[in-house]
Structure 1
Amino acid sequence: MTSVKLKFKESSVSGKEGTLYIQVIHGREVAQVNTGLHIHKEEWDYENGSIVKGYPESGKRAKYLDIIRGKILLEKERMNRIVEYYENGDGLYKVADVVRRYREASCGTVSVFEYIRIQIARLQRLGKERTAETYGQMLNSLVKYRKGMDLYFDMIDTDMMEQYEIFMRVNHLCRNTSSFYMRILRCVYNRAVEEGITVQRQPFRHVYTGVDKTPKRAVTINDIRNIKALRLLRNPVLEFARDIFLFSFYMRGMSFIDIAYLRKKDMSNGFITYNRRKTGQQIVVRLEKPILDIIMKYTLSGSEYLLPVIERQDGTERKQYLNKMLLVNRKLKIIAGMAGIQIPLSMYVARHSWASVAKSMDVSLSVISLGMGHDNEETTRIYLDSIQTDQIDDANVRILKEL
């Protein structure tokens, strides 16, 4: 058996911090591994071999000791996992083997939580706010699973990922959500491998990283007519939510984020041209009368944006968009009841409904895919060079005439 304990060595200089080290004993061999972490002797509990709890901490020192506690737990876990690795082998190893492997693993490493935060900051610098948010959501989930305890990449293995998957299921995350978080974490892990932070151990090979087919929710052309016919003049917030829903439908299922960031300069020569924020793909939509009616109804003078989703340019644009999306989706639930629609309305329903209505009118799948900006659709890739923009616009005219 191998013993791994945290020890403290006082400084020979009065008032100077002492050193925390890990003591490893195997057989009759003893080794000491310096953690590089330092505390005062008053902060060390000699009886329990740990940093004192309840010591009168305040301010920066309290935060410092919290950080030290977290790092110590992390280093001890790493050392224990290395010992476990040797114990599960033939058992013929020396203390020097444990120390060597520990130092190799510790050389120039960055913790997983820290690395994910670095990636979030990188995505934000690149303007990929939505992707950064999903990384943050995954990190929050991982932190909960680890109960706040950080880890290193060499600690991530198939067992841990299977346990993390079980944790998410127990906490009522659907399989697509747990798979989504796994795919993000795998992306982070693979990037760390590319940067030489860790080696590839294929820790995700036993967990689900696919996408389950889910029931798609769409409304019929009759439902769209009923939504359009609602008299909402006495409630401008409901009216705005309804009109933005219709605008998305008229614009071939335009996503809410693209509507929010649509600028007046994107409208020119009878067309609206924009790039999808999700994929970067350029979309060109011919301006039909229903689209123009909504634009003329809501466009504000003095704003560069086409519709009043983002109303102030003060650095809070992202927050304004998110708040307006929540408001619109909440009001759409009310509108659904008023229009006698059984499924809960949302902006996503508008997007999917255009595709569903187009399909019911025998518009080809390739035209639908291209019209919605699905640049990852195999059918779209096959027909991308042969489908003309006017075919898509003609399909949109056929749909709008049904209203």
Structure 2
Amino acid sequence: MSTTINVVCYKSKVLKNNESPLMIRICKDRKMKYESLGISLDPKYWDFKANKPTSKCPNKEYIEKVITEKTKAYTDKILELKAMEKDFTATTLAEKVNNPIKLKTVGEVFLGYMERLSTEKRTGYMLSVKQVYNSLIKFNKHLNIYFPDIDTAWLRKYETWLRSNNIKENTIGIRFRTLRAIYNLAIEENIVKAEYYPFKKYKVSKLHEKTAKRAINKEDINKVLSYKSSNPFTRLPIDLFTFSYFMGEINFV
């Protein structure tokens, strides 16, 4: 169903200055939403049939300018949402126009986050994020895309690409968890609306493989513990291993 945008004089409401506010009226799926235009006037200066100020209306040119700009903002947003095949209601349309998101690409958010981690001296984690960034560049050729472009279909394609490159299951899980963290960051910083979040349907938890336990037997451990050497370069790693083995309940780090 089509969406209509009109400006009306809300004469049923009278302000302290005895004027009535002008309101944007959004009609979508038989539901209406009113948003203040931030302007009021005496109803006698409003043409209720044509929905525009009369020729004798004070500040007529200014009021018409505001009406034109605000109406254009709504119609442009409607065209944008239709082009992206995104559904919306009268309420969500008003939210998108009055609380616009900060336009940042996925690549810009990644780079900004890596810079922050470097400043905070979190070099290890920064390098981990950089690995995911480089992986996404190889997959998508670039990251000059916006977060709504990353939907469940896009994520499945990325997963398939990783598998075709013989990336191990747990490594795939790490990359997706990092990408999810970046997406959550973008939501927190109002770069993308939470309604676009693709990880509600695409479950990262499935990308996990139990690692086979790796251990040497007691006989081999005893061989290391009882090994004799007068060479200090040989003795040191044996002593460290022995200490770590007998003090297994402490934090090795």
Measured against the shorter chain, the TM-score band is 0.5 to 0.7
Judge conservation of contact 2:183–2:197 (CA < 8 Å) in 1.
Answer: no
**1:214 pairs with 2:233:** no
Cα distance change, pair 85–152 in 1 and its aligned pair in 2 (3 A): closer
Match of 2:176 among 177, 182, 185: 182
Offset of residue 245 of structure 1: 3.7
- The aligned runs of 1:349-388 (5 Å cut-off) are none
The separation in 1 between residues aligned to 2:203 and 2:220, in whole angstroms, is 41
Judge conservation of contact 1:143–1:150 (CA < 8 Å) in 2.
Answer: no
The separation in 2 between residues aligned to 1:241 and 1:109, in whole angstroms, is 54
1:105-151 CA distance string (max 9 Å, x none) = x9632221221122223223334332222112211211111124432
The residue identity in structure 2 corresponding to 1:191 is L
The separation in 1 between residues aligned to 2:247 and 2:111, in whole angstroms, is 36
Judge conservation of contact 1:116–1:188 (CA < 8 Å) in 2.
Answer: yes
Match of 2:154 among 153, 157, 160: 160
Judge conservation of contact 1:165–1:207 (CA < 8 Å) in 2.
Answer: no
The residue identity in structure 2 corresponding to 1:248 is S
**1:248 pairs with 2:244:** yes
Alignment match, 2:222: 225
Structure 1 gap segments, 5+ residues each: 1-80, 90-100, 259-403
Alignment match, 2:127: 133
Secondary structure in structure 1 of the residue aligned to 2:198: coil
Alignment match, 2:197: 202
Offset of residue 199 of structure 1: 1.2
Offset of residue 220 of structure 1: 2.9
User: Could you say which structure has the larger radius of gyration?
Assistant: 2
Offset of residue 169 of structure 1: 0.6
Judge conservation of contact 2:132–2:179 (CA < 8 Å) in 1.
Answer: yes
Judge conservation of contact 1:161–1:207 (CA < 8 Å) in 2.
Answer: no
**1:170 pairs with 2:164:** yes
- The aligned runs of 1:233-382 (5 Å cut-off) are 233-234=230-231, 236=233, 239-252=235-248, 258=253
Structure 2 gap segments, 5+ residues each: 1-79, 88-95
Cα distance change, pair 234–142 in 1 and its aligned pair in 2 (3 A): same
Alignment match, 2:115: 121
Alignment match, 1:191: 185
The residue identity in structure 1 corresponding to 2:198 is P
Judge conservation of contact 2:225–2:242 (CA < 8 Å) in 1.
Answer: yes
- The count of residues paired between Structure 1 and Structure 2 equals 164
Judge conservation of contact 2:101–2:192 (CA < 8 Å) in 1.
Answer: no
Cα distance change, pair 250–172 in 1 and its aligned pair in 2 (3 A): same
The separation in 2 between residues aligned to 1:253 and 1:124, in whole angstroms, is 33
Cα distance change, pair 245–133 in 1 and its aligned pair in 2 (3 A): farther
Cα distance change, pair 240–140 in 1 and its aligned pair in 2 (3 A): farther
Offset of residue 253 of structure 1: 6.7
Q: What RMSD in Å do the two structures reach over aligned CA positions?
A: 3.4
Offset of residue 231 of structure 1: 4.1
The residue identity in structure 1 corresponding to 2:205 is T
The separation in 1 between residues aligned to 2:107 and 2:236, in whole angstroms, is 41
1:154-174 CA distance string (max 9 Å, x none) = 211111111111111111111
1:321-361 CA distance string (max 9 Å, x none) = xxxxxxxxxxxxxxxxxxxxxxxxxxxxxxxxxxxxxxxxx
Secondary structure in structure 1 of the residue aligned to 2:214: coil
Judge conservation of contact 2:114–2:130 (CA < 8 Å) in 1.
Answer: yes
Secondary structure in structure 2 of the residue aligned to 1:178: helix
The separation in 1 between residues aligned to 2:147 and 2:236, in whole angstroms, is 48
Question: When the two structures are superposed, what TM-score results if normalisation uses the length of structure 1?
Answer: 0.35
**1:151 pairs with 2:145:** yes
Judge conservation of contact 2:106–2:143 (CA < 8 Å) in 1.
Answer: no
Offset of residue 248 of structure 1: 3.4
Secondary structure in structure 1 of the residue aligned to 2:130: helix
The percentage of aligned residue pairs carrying the same residue is: 28
Question: When the two structures are superposed, what TM-score results if normalisation uses the length of structure 2?
Answer: 0.53
Secondary structure in structure 2 of the residue aligned to 1:209: helix
Alignment match, 1:399: none
- The aligned runs of 1:43-58 (5 Å cut-off) are none
Cα distance change, pair 126–247 in 1 and its aligned pair in 2 (3 A): farther
The residue identity in structure 2 corresponding to 1:220 is N
